Amino acid sequence: MNTFKLTIDGVVVEAEQGMTVLQAAKRAGLFIPSLCAHDELSPYGACRLCVVEIDGIRGTPTSCTTPAAEGMVVRTNTEQLQTQRRRTIELMMSGHPSPCFSCDSREDCEVEKSTPTKAGIATRCGACSNRPGCELRGVAMGNFTRDIDLPLLYSIDKIERDDPFIDKDHNLCILCGRCFRTCEKIHDKPAISIANRGKKAKISVEFGKAWSSEECRFCGTCVDECPTGCLTDRWGKWFGVQDSLVESVCTLCPNHCKLMLKVKQGKIIGAKMLALKKENAICALGKFGIAQIVNSPRRISRMQVKVGSEQIPSSFEDAVAKIKSLFEESAGGKLVISSRDAYVETRRGLRALAKKYGADFVELAGNAESLDAQTLSKIENGEYETVLVLGNWLSAEAASKIKHLIVADFAKSAAQKFADVVLPLSIVGETSATVAGADGKPLGCAKASEPALDRRATFEYLNAVIGDFSGGDFELESLAKDFASPALDKKNLPNKFLGHYLSDFAPDLLKLGLKKSPEAAEIENSKNGFEILEKKMLVPNFHSIKISAPDAAKYVKPGQFAILMANANSERSPFTIIDWDAKEGWIEFIVEEVGRSSSELGSLKKGDRIAVMSGPLGTPVDLENFAPGSSALLLGGCYGIGAIYSIARALKEKGVKTTCAIEASTSYMLYFKDKLAAVADKLIVKTRDGTEGTKGGCSDVLAEIGANFDSIIAIGCVFMMKKCAESAPKDDSKTQLCALNPIMVDGTGMCGACRVNVGGETKFACVEGPFFPLLKVDFKELGKRRTAYKLLEIEAMPRHIGGRCHS
Amino acid sequence: MAEEKVRKTRASGLPRLVMPEQNPVRRATNFEEVPYGISLEVAMDEASRCLRCPKPRCMAACPVNINIPQFIAEIAEGNPQAAAEKLKTQTALPAVCGRVCPQELQCEGSCVLGLRGQPVAIGTLERFAADYVRQNKLDKLPEKAAPTGKKVAVIGCGPAGITAAADLAIAGHEVEVFEALHLPGGVLMYGIPQFRLPKEIVAHEVEQLKKLGVKIHLNYLIGKLESVDQLMKEGFDAIFIGSGAGLPMFLGIPGENSVGVFSANEFLTRFNLMKAYDFPNHATTPIHAKHIITVGGGNVAMDSSRTALRIGAKSTLVYRRAREQMPARKEEVHHAEQEGVDLQLLTNPKRVIADENGKVIALECVRMELGEPDESGRRSVTEISGSEFQIPCDAIVVSIGNRPNPLIPMTCKSLATTRKGTLEVDPETLQTSMAGVFAGGDVVSGAATVISAMGQAKKAAANINKYLRGEPLKDEAAPSAL
């Protein structure tokens, strides 16, 4: 290959023919910031961060689209280029939800909230699932000041959640074009491209239809290449960035595609293509299905052996001994049912087992509808005394006709109830084993994650039962013929794996046309409960929900909360009451989407019902502490903006001179300004990025003017209240309160989950709270207790289409 | 009850039945009920063992005065339905009592057969009769008296509330029950685990209560909505408070607010009421721990330590006194040990040790020794100095008792309370310091048993009847207080 030399920032570097200036710099270890550029994709020149100055070339060309040439003299970091890049970042940030980028408390806040809030809409980095992996954030924070001079153009576009597996938040898109260049590279004709122009430009399929109606195959590669949080894996996104990538093989269909499994803390959280090359393309099942199937609550994990009439959890040795004795001692008919989507070792082993004990042998395609009629009728006639079945091929009725049944499976099935032995299996990514490649050659599958509890591969059990069978009588080549059809076309995706409907594990597959298992349960919507009279999204992720509750509405007082459950399976979670009317019989809540329970509530509509509303709860604000004519400062952040409203109104009625200060990350997250202005003598607005009111937060207000007030109440997230406590006047004679919102279970003083440390004493926030002296609360302990279930809360997230609020 | 005929037959002299149970290894991995139940034949054989004493000691020992020989005689005759109807005249919850009563201290403990051999399995027979009618849908509602036009409010839908509500409805009053949680049943729902008391049974008993015409308001926390005074003003003629003992006690040792320290109430509520064992189908998060230490020696501690096993953890129980002093039912301790709970007796927690994230990593304990019995006859315990040691763990369940929730007396100043936070009542009538307001169960006695709560509730209901008829409450000797 021809090489030549050029000079970049005074360094003479060598480049190869066909390289761009950016590639030449990168090869020489020189850093030029860039976002749209990608080694495997065609040059595009969209983000304009990689601009350089080149002698003899006018202006500032983008280094990613400029071919390197012999003798070029390139400068990458002049003052003019820096200014230009800063402007570029500012332009991107003005249309991107960027308040965390400009916030002065960012570093402190991110220590406090080490993982992003599981919000429905990414209104800032702190509410974006891609915060840990965001390239835009990385480039911006590494190279630019946090001040943005340009006006905010954030458009609050609707989040698209109607497509399987992929959430699309166009607010985060920087139009880098990686997604459609990826799509073009892998699939020739891209399903997606940029529609519209200027401010309205966005990635879309033709005519803005749902992706699933078009060419898109949901291979998900665009999600992996998206530098921001615009395209995300609905199921896996909150787990964050993987610790490692393990090269392995997808065994869910006979194509046996090689891919990379994403592993975090020993858990498979996703998959991606081996490399961004056409020949490495994978399908929706490989990309999104594997993690959902491997982590499904339908999996089984314990070996069971029947003793008497009971299945008892047993050891490997007991299970093996039982299988041996059943096959050795059984005088009647024997049958071994195998499945073609099992590992080669397993299939060999099952054949060897059948041969050794003279059993009939049936092998089904993993995707087969059911057993053949002949075998089935033999089972139903009771002709088989001992049967070993791999996968879900026997109905409860058929299983009940078998005297001795051994079931090897990875998930629950109807037949297991009748089994003498149940063997829990390890599957994709949990076993080191062999499958047949499409070329008929053996293909090794690497283990990426340790299988939980008793799970093992079938061949491990068989090896112990019949000894070594590696020389078994079958040819890999003959097997290769079984799987000719590439499943990349979504129409060819298999419906089943080892006899189980895949849509039971990943319901979004139904949208790709996969079959539904006949037993699949419908989620019932409650007919009982409290009717929603009105529901509004005040700002992204914040909803006001007004419900009919005539009994309770008579007793609400300012500052109280109630426990809500969207449906019978929800958690009992506390939400603050912001308004009520005893005569009309309604109560209104503020609901901030931060996880499963709140997003379930957020997804309800007017006319729907909330299964449980238990309240009002908590001790209301003691209005006796606020004398008429005295002055009060109410501070509200996020849900606290709603929470201080009813208190401000009550204080106004009492003749207290009230100042309300509200803070939000940015202008588009402010709400209730008019409502608060109507009940307060003065309203102070603060935003973290300075896009409305003055820059800063409530703690700054407190530091500036807190000393002038007789009483102070602060309501918001733990971080906001902690900051307020730090800057509040250290004066015990004032009434200074905060309203705490710890994890609760019952909310009536029964469980103690909500206990908080106030001045060295343990208090129950649900009964003795939520109001406590601001200066005495141990916020550090509260913060730790609030985040105790972080990982489980991610697992609990609703992850199928329609599982979350659509606005 | 003298007029009721008790058939005289010779006792069979058969050995006591053995209740078939799930294998301990198996059951420690599931939430299914431990005993399997018995067939009619086995029940009849067991019932035939009863001597049918003319002065049944078992009946005297029953807090709700069930005519035990009579219902057993019906089973012996092969009439489980008749047996269940007899039971229903004295207990609203036979299927529950048959499972959770401490029979060895009550009926079975007094059985004459027990003096020289094994007592009749009265609890098992009670359970059998109740299960039989439920499973075969043969339930009959007790007959209700003519409407009295009086309205009674019952606060709390646990064992005491259900018992009082049933008795009051049968007496012809209009009864409304107010329950704070979203499901009725109280401790039967949130506290006692599925493997000891399947929730379908509680739901069935509550259905029966509704069929008696009792109205149940859920999510209705008296004290936060109406107070007790307000209920009286709203037209209730009498009130029964059966709000239980729902306020968990903590150890008061350093580190107790660390992440991973739970009250037994929280731990059990997560798994029972909120079904966290079915996570993520049910959204309430389970406790993912490898080693859970339960502190305490009562039935609730047994329930907690056995639940810990079932969620896949190693389970250790720490109790400061010796086995003989454990307040738990013997059967529960036996079941716990059988399933693999490691009992650390004469061991007292000193402090909780947490890592830098505030998460529990160990419990520091000290060994104790038994001293002389104190005035109450309970032997005191003292620390063995220098015997401190640490047990590594990642969750701790504190199960050292509960107190009544202060909400009701806090919001109704005319209700007098004791130093322990229980309601002050006249021990004979169970009337509180407010006329027309009666109370029973744990809110009066502090944390006790389901059956003692039911016994008090029956007594209170009887006195409410008198009160509503305008009769004096104390004109005749009441049965001995519990």
The DSSP line for A159-219 is PB--SSSEEE-GGG-----HHHHHHHHHHSS-S-EEES-GGG-EEESGGG--GGGSS----
Query: Are the Cβ atoms of B263 and A796 closer than 8 angstroms?
Result: no
Q: Nearest-CA distance from B63 to chain A in Å?
A: 27
* Whether residue A309 has pLDDT greater than 50: yes
> pLDDT tens digits for A497-520?
999 999 888 888 888 888 887 765
Say whether both A81 and A176 belong to one domain: no
| A421-435, A510-524, A681-695, B420-434, range with the lowest pLDDT | A510-524
Of B135, B160, B180, the position where a domain reaches its end is B135
Could you say which of B29, B265, B281 has the minimum Cβ distance to residue A297?
B281
Domain with A570 in it: 530-617
From chain B, the residues in CB contact with A551 under 8 A are 217, 220, 225
Residue B263 lies in a domain: yes
Model pLDDT, residue A519: 66
- The beta strand positions in A52-120, using DSSP E, are 53-54, 73-75
Q: What's the average model confidence in pLDDT over A139-144?
A: 76
Of A600, A617, A634, the position where a domain reaches its end is A617
Model pLDDT, residue A473: 56
Say whether both A671 and A539 belong to one domain: no
Query: Are the Cβ atoms of A313 and B26 closer than 8 angstroms?
Result: yes
| A514-518, A566-570, A648-652, B316-320, range with the lowest pLDDT | A514-518
Is A742 touching B (CB cutoff 8 A)?
A: no
Say whether both A278 and A345 belong to one domain: no
Model pLDDT, residue A206: 65
* Whether residue A472 has pLDDT greater than 80: no
Residue B13 lies in a domain: no
Say whether both B396 and B458 belong to one domain: no
Q: What's the average model confidence in pLDDT over A116-125?
A: 87
Residue A364 lies in a domain: yes
Q: Which ranges of chain B have pLDDT less than 50?
A: 1-9, 478, 480-482
Residue A511 lies in a domain: no
Report the candidate in A114, A750, A778 with the shortest Cα–Cα distance to residue B255.
A778
Say whether both B393 and B333 belong to one domain: yes
Is A748 touching B (CB cutoff 8 A)?
A: yes
Report the candidate in B411, B457, B481, B401 with the shortest Cα–Cα distance to residue B158.
B457
Is A750 touching B (CB cutoff 8 A)?
A: yes
Say whether both B259 and B171 belong to one domain: no
Which of A596-600, A644-648, A687-691, B478-482 has the highest mean predicted lDDT (pLDDT)?
A644-648
Write the DSSP symbol of residue B160.
H
Model pLDDT, residue A637: 92
CATH of the domain at B293: 3.50.50.60
Which of A83-87, A162-166, A246-250, A350-354 has the highest mean predicted lDDT (pLDDT)?
A246-250
Instruction: Give A261's pLDDT tier (boundaries 50, 70, 90).
Output: very high
Query: Are the Cβ atoms of A796 and B266 closer than 8 angstroms?
Result: no
> pLDDT tens digits for A340-389?
888 888 888 888 888 889 899 998 887 788 888 899 999 998 899 999 99
Report the candidate in A343, A563, A755, A548 with the shortest Cα–Cα distance to residue B221.
A563
- For helices B122-135 and B40-47, give the axis angle rounded to 10 degrees: 140
Say whether both B445 and B383 belong to one domain: no
CB A76 within 8 A of CB A24: no
CA-based nearest residue in chain A for residue B186: A750
Tokens for A502? 């895949």
- Helix then strand count (H, E) for chain B reads 19, 16
* Whether residue A212 has pLDDT greater than 70: no
Residue A271 lies in a domain: yes
Q: Which residue has the higher pLDDT, A198 or A175?
A: A175
Q: What 3-state class would DSSP assign to B421?
A: coil
Say how many domains are in chain A.
5
For the purposes of burial, counting CB atoms within 10 Å of the CB of A776, is it exposed (0-12), middle (13-18) or buried (19 or more)? Answer: middle
| Best to test chain B binding among A416, A746, A763, A766 (most B CBs inside 10 Å) | A746
Q: What's the average model confidence in pLDDT over A194-213?
A: 70
Say whether both A573 and A711 belong to one domain: no
CB A339 within 8 A of CB A391: yes
From chain B, the residues in CB contact with A785 under 8 A are 257, 259, 358
* Whether residue A144 has pLDDT greater than 70: no
Residue A77 lies in a domain: yes
Query: Are the Cβ atoms of B274 and A565 closer than 8 angstroms?
Result: no
From chain A, the residues in CB contact with B284 under 8 A are 571-572, 745
Model pLDDT, residue B2: 40
Measure Cα distances from A732 to A636, A704, A736, A761, A775 in Å.
Answer: 21, 18, 8, 17, 8
CA-based nearest residue in chain A for residue B260: A788
Model pLDDT, residue A167: 87
Query: Are the Cβ atoms of A611 and B182 closer than 8 angstroms?
Result: yes
Report the candidate in B7, B138, B14, B141 with the shortest Cα–Cα distance to residue B72.
B7
Model pLDDT, residue A527: 62
Say whether both B465 and B342 belong to one domain: no
Model pLDDT, residue A533: 93
3-state helix, strand, coil in chain B (%, to 5): 35, 15, 50
Say whether both A341 and A399 belong to one domain: yes
CATH of the domain at B98: 1.10.1060.10
Q: Nearest-CA distance from B472 to chain A in Å?
A: 35
Say whether both B294 and B312 belong to one domain: yes
Is A565 touching B (CB cutoff 8 A)?
A: yes
**Cα gap B159→B181, rounded to integer Å:** 14
Could you say which of B256, B262, B407 has the minimum Cβ distance to residue A749?
B407
Strand partners, A362: A337
Average predicted confidence (pLDDT) for chain A: 86
Is A523 touching B (CB cutoff 8 A)?
A: no
Residue A154 lies in a domain: no
| Best to test chain A binding among B33, B157, B224 (most A CBs inside 10 Å) | B224
Chain A, 418-447: which have a CB under 8 Å from a chain B CB?
Answer: none
Say whether both A450 and A577 belong to one domain: no
Full-model pTM: 0.87
Of A440, A472, A497, the position where a domain reaches its end is A497
CA-based nearest residue in chain A for residue B403: A750
* Whether residue A6 has pLDDT greater than 60: yes
Say whether both B81 and B188 belong to one domain: no
Say whether both B218 and B258 belong to one domain: no
CB A729 within 8 A of CB A722: no
Residue A521 lies in a domain: no
Say whether both B234 and B298 belong to one domain: no
CATH of the domain at A381: 3.40.50.740
Which DSSP string corresponds to A696-759?
Answer: S-HHHHHHHHGGG-SEEEEES-HHHHHHHHHHS---TTSEEEEE-----SSSSSSS-TTEEEET
Q: In sequence order, which residues have a C-beta less than 8 Å from that of residue A232 and are 6 or more positions away?
A: A129, A130, A166, A167, A169, A223, A226
Say whether both B271 and B307 belong to one domain: yes
Query: Are the Cβ atoms of A551 and B190 closer than 8 angstroms?
Result: no
From chain B, the residues in CB contact with A745 under 8 A are 266, 269-270, 274, 284
Domain with B211 in it: 151-246+403-469
Residue B8 lies in a domain: no
| Best to test chain B binding among A315, A555, A751, A785 (most B CBs inside 10 Å) | A751
Q: How many residues are given for chain B?
A: 482
Query: Are the Cβ atoms of A792 and B288 closer than 8 angstroms?
Result: yes
Query: Are the Cβ atoms of A785 and B259 closer than 8 angstroms?
Result: yes
CB–CB contacts below 8 A, A to B: 136
| Best to test chain B binding among A239, A567, A573, A750 (most B CBs inside 10 Å) | A750
Query: Are the Cβ atoms of B224 and A762 closer than 8 angstroms?
Result: no
Say whether both B359 and B224 belong to one domain: no
**Does residue A518 have a cis peptide bond before it, meaning omega lies within 30 degrees of 0?**
no
**Cα gap A494→A508, rounded to integer Å:** 14
> pLDDT tens digits for A770-794?
999 999 999 888 888 888 888 888 8
